[in-house]
Every structure is written in C-alpha cells, then in structure tokens.
Amino acid sequence: MNFHLAGRMSVILMSTRRGAPYADQVKDSGRTLIYEGHDVPQSKHDLDPKTIDQPEIYPSGRPTQNGLFFEAAVRVARGGHAPELVKVYEKIHNGVWVFDGIFELVDAWKESANGRMVFKFKLHLAENSPAGEYVSNDELPHNRLIPSTVKLEVWKRDKGKCVLCGSRENLHFDHIIPFSLGGSSLLEKNIQLLCAKHNLQKHDKIT
C-alpha cells in the first residue's frame, strides 16, 4: 500500500487467491473491498511478522502506511472529509497484476486476529471509476464476476495487451457481449483485454 503515491492517488495491491499472505476480501460484486494492513517487515525481526501487531508508527514516531491510511479513513468515517481515492491492483498470477478500479477509502478499524492486532480498511468503488470487472472465488453460474482462472487464460491468450491497440497499461477484462445482455463471465471467448481508453469507449457506445 502506498499513500499518495508520487503525490497523486494512493495505491493498494491486493490478492484474494488461496494462500495469499493477507486476508483481503471482495464483497458486494466487487464494489466493496476489505483490505488488510501490512505486517512489520520480516527482515527487522526474529519473530514471525504474523505474530506481531501490525505497525501504526515507526520508532521515529512517523506514521507507517497503515497509519497514514488509517488516519485518512477515520477522518472520512467521522464525516466532513472527502474520501481518499485509491487505485486497486489485484494479483491474478505470479507477476501479473490487474487494475481493478478506483476506490474510495471510507472506513478503517483495528481488530484482533490470531492473538495480534491487524488493520482493516474498507473501500467502496468510486461512482465514476473506470473499473472493468472483478474477481470472486465463488463461481456462481450466472454472475458478472469473472473467475480468476478465466482471467488468467484470457491474459495469456491476449498476451497481456489491449486487443485493439496493444497497450500494456491499465488493462481491463471486458465482456465482449455485456453481462447485462446475457454475455457469460465464465467463457474465455466472451472476455477480452482492453486498455482503459478502449474500455471506456466501448461502454460509452453501449450505454
């Protein structure tokens, strides 16, 4: 997680795959994310980081990334502040990260997990997010969510590039026949990779 990365939007990387290091959750058809804070770095401790409270401040007193996100989220939850905008990237395969959309950081809390304290951050999909589609592990038969296995096959087939212009930036998984018109999320042949620009152009035409 990177608060105000390069002075602009914040960025988080998430993974909901089995065996992922953090207990990130996707809810509400991808509109709500519950993102777990970061552990202390392994190198600085002899103890397993998973047994240590997630850090809010450095020894110097400066806030960690957990601390920065927590402060911003609590400010919003109390009211009167606009939420931070956060770009969310999801890991679908080793070395393959996919842009999931722009989210608003709306709440945060600390909770006990296996005898230690972890941070939880709640994010909602922003109204006008150019998001494509979302991953879920439950493969319901009629679902607009594209399973990770299908995403990975599409990624390989389209060689990690927009099928229209070859861009490798901000790629989206696009339903060729929109889900709202009966297009399947479960068939690779109905899913293609598009860059953000071509994804938006297509949606402008349909709606």
Instruction: State the residues that interact with Zn ion by CB under 5 A.
Output: 162, 164-165, 167, 195, 198
**Apex 100 CA angle, 8 and 79, nearest 5:** 55
Single out the residue of 174, 104, 122 nearest to residue 144, CA to CA.
174
Q: Which is nearer to Zn ion, 50 or 197 (CB)?
A: 197
Minimum distance of Zn ion from residue 196's CB (angstroms): 8
Minimum distance of Zn ion from residue 173's CB (angstroms): 13
Q: Which residues are bridge partners to 96 per DSSP?
A: 93
Minimum distance of Zn ion from residue 199's CB (angstroms): 8
Minimum distance of Zn ion from residue 171's CB (angstroms): 9
Q: Which is nearer to Zn ion, 151 or 202 (CB)?
A: 202
Minimum distance of Zn ion from residue 170's CB (angstroms): 9
The answer to whether residues 155 and 178 touch, using CB atoms and an 8 Å cutoff, is: no
**Number of CB atoms found within 10 A of residue 48's CB:** 10
Minimum distance of Zn ion from residue 169's CB (angstroms): 9
DSSP string over 142-200: S-SSPPHHHHHHHHHHTTTS-TTT---SSEEEEESS-GGGT--SS-GGGEEEEEHHHHH
Q: Which is nearer to Zn ion, 14 or 195 (CB)?
A: 195
Q: Which is nearer to Zn ion, 154 or 195 (CB)?
A: 195
Q: Which is nearer to Zn ion, 146 or 162 (CB)?
A: 162
**Measured distance CA(178)–CA(158) in Å, rounded:** 19
Q: Which residues are bridge partners to 191 per DSSP?
A: 175
**3-class DSSP state of 102:** strand
Q: Which is nearer to Zn ion, 33 or 194 (CB)?
A: 194
